[in-house]
């Protein structure tokens, strides 16, 4: 019998790519999203790519009653992948209450339902931001967490603790995936990052600038003590990242996880600077990018990249795509999106 998996935030960027991977691996999927930063065009793309019409609940998980309707209609859900959350670091500094209320209340509600409806596996979108301002990289899962640099980061730190405490005496087993910097798009060109709000993340800012949606862009800080002065991050292709969720579910469904909660870094373990990313974009696409060098962005960490050996050893996960794949697919997607 097929396992049924609820994907919250399923019309969003990482959620929609993960739905494709789940369907390709024989899972049945139910999607929930409040649609505030994505729309159902991703479900149309999923239908074209997989032939599956994924059931969709347009609901806000902060509404417990509405959340329960999913489980009343689908009491056979055995796994949940919880993506739904606000994720703009700068906005979270301006509106901390909004972030705490939205990201934590929705998490508490979905955990409540997971326990009540005897869900077996719960995968949580955490972030490398939980490590805070680290002094050395690579970081592994045992690296001590520093003070969060933003309320967004705090919701991920607190979220990890809420899950750990809540499921302790239940049947639920959980995996916390700490994502590094997801980027790129589906190789079909039909699916990619398409946020309702203007993106703040580096790769969509680059492609939007190159296509002319933005006049130019700024490199935030070129005076860091790194090889070229700009910040170092670990950019992971969204298709590789999606696979980590499916493998995490499998691990729990196959009773391989002994502890109630386990944590995995999901990055490719290769740190690249902002200027190297721009260089990769220009090389892969042949486009010349108009950018200026500017001051540091408050809250930015100088350098962080992952040690993902635990995910490789336990989940059998390893990245197969690199920065060139990221740029190629992100650019194809941007060109398609801009024609609409
Ligand atoms: C941060 C969080 C990440 C979170 C993500 C959500 C950390 C370490 N990472 O990623 O966990 O999921 O936000 O949005 O806290 N940059 C520019 N110009 C731009 C945009 C970005 O130079 O216009 C630079 C940034 O200064 C940074 C790099 O590009 O050095 C990546 O930035 P971004 O894509 O925003 O991601 P993070 O801040 O690393």
pLDDT average per 10 residues of sequence, the chain (340 residues): 95 98 98 94 97 98 98 98 94 96 98 98 98 95 94 97 97 98 97 85 96 95 98 98 98 98 98 98 97 93 97 98 98 90
pLDDT computed for residue 169 by the predictor: 93
Residue 321 in any domain: the answer is no
- The tokens of 14 are what? 């990482």
Closest residue (by CA) to atom 35 of ligand 1? 201
Calculate ∠ Cα 315-126-129, nearest 5°: 120
pLDDT computed for residue 320 by the predictor: 98
Active-site residue (options: 152, 179, 224, 235):
152
Q: Which of 72, 81, 85 is nearest to 27 (CA)?
A: 81
- Say how far apart CA 302 and CA 323 lie, in whole Å: 20
Residue 283 in any domain: the answer is no
- The tokens of 231 are what? 């910040």
Q: What is the DSSP letter of 157?
A: H
pLDDT computed for residue 340 by the predictor: 67
Cα 202 to ligand 1 centroid, rounded to whole Å: 6
Q: How many domains does the chain have?
A: 1
Residue 300 in any domain: the answer is no
Ligand 1, pocket residues at CB < 6 Å: 87, 89, 127-129, 149, 153, 181, 200-202, 205, 217-220, 231, 233, 274, 297, 300-301, 304
Provide DSSP, 305-318: -B--HHIIIII---
Cα 232 to ligand 1 centroid, rounded to whole Å: 10
Atom number in ligand 1 closest to CA 304: 8
- Say how far apart CA 49 and CA 190 lie, in whole Å: 8
Residue 211 in any domain: the answer is no
Q: Is 229 helix (H, G, I), strand (E, B) or coil?
A: coil
Cα 201 to ligand 1 centroid, rounded to whole Å: 5
Atom number in ligand 1 closest to CA 301: 8
The CATH number of residue 152's host domain is 3.40.50.720
Residue 189 in any domain: the answer is no
Atom number in ligand 1 closest to CA 203: 34
CB 174 within 8 A of CB 80: no
Containing domain of residue 34, as a range? 4-184+235-267
> What pTM was computed for the model?
0.97
| 152 labelled catalytic | yes
Residue 197 in any domain: the answer is no
pLDDT computed for residue 198 by the predictor: 83
Closest residue (by CA) to atom 21 of ligand 1? 202
CB 152 within 8 A of CB 129: yes
- Say how far apart CA 51 and CA 192 lie, in whole Å: 18
Cα 66 to ligand 1 centroid, rounded to whole Å: 33
Phi, psi of 3 (to 5 degrees): -80, 140
Cα 114 to ligand 1 centroid, rounded to whole Å: 32
- The tokens of 225 are what? 């003590």
Residue 325 in any domain: the answer is no
Q: Computed over its alpha carbons, how large is the radius of gyration of the chain? A: 19
- Say how far apart CA 296 and CA 280 lie, in whole Å: 22
CB 178 within 8 A of CB 141: yes
Pocket test for ligand 1, best of 220, 271, 292, 304 (most atoms within 8 A of CB): 220
Task: Kindly give the residue spans of alpha helices, DSSP state H, lying in the chain.
Answer: 13-24, 41-50, 64-73, 89-94, 96-116, 151-167, 202-211, 238-253, 274-285, 309-310, 323-339
Residue 109 in any domain: the answer is yes
């Amino acid at each position: 019998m097929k396992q049924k998996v609820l994907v919250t935030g399923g019309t969003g960027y990482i959620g929609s790519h993960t739905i494709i991977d789940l369907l390709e691996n024989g899972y049945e999927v139910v999607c929930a999203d409040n649609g505030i930063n994505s729309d159902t065009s991703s479900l149309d793309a999923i239908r074209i790519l997989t032939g599956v019409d994924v059931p969709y609940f347009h609901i806000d998980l902060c509404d417990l009653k509405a959340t329960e309707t999913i489980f009343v209609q689908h009491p056979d859900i055995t796994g949940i992948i919880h993506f739904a959350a606000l994720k703009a670091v700068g906005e979270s500094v301006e509106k901390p209450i909004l972030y705490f209320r939205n990201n934590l209340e929705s998490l508490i509600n979905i955990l409540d339902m997971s326990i009540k409806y005897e869900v077996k596996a719960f995968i949580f979108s955490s972030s490398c931001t939980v490590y805070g301002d680290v002094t050395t990289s690579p970081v592994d899962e045992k690296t001590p967490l520093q003070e969060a640099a933003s309320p967004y980061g705090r919701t991920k730190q607190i979220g990890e603790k809420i899950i750990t405490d809540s499921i302790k005496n239940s049947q639920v087993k959980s995996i916390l995936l700490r994502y590094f910097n997801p980027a790129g798009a589906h190789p079909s060109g039909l699916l990619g990052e398409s946020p309702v709000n203007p993106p703040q993340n580096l790769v969509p800012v680059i492609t939007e600038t190159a296509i002319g949606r933005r006049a130019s862009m700024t490199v935030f800080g070129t005076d860091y003590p790194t090889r070229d002065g700009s910040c170092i991050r670990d950019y992971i292709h969204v298709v590789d990242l999606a696979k980590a969720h499916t493998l995490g579910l499998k691990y729990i469904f196959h009773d391989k996880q002994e502890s109630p909660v386990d944590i995995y870094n999901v990055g490719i373990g290769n740190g690249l600077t902002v200027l190297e990313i721009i260089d990769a974009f220009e090389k892969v696409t042949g486009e010349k990018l108009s950018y200026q060098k500017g001051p540091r962005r408050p809250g930015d960490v100088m350098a962080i990249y992952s040690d993902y050996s635990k995910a490789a050893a336990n989940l059998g996960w390893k990245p197969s795509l690199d920065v060139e794949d990221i740029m190629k697919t992100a650019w194809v997607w941007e060109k398609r999106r801009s024609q609409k």
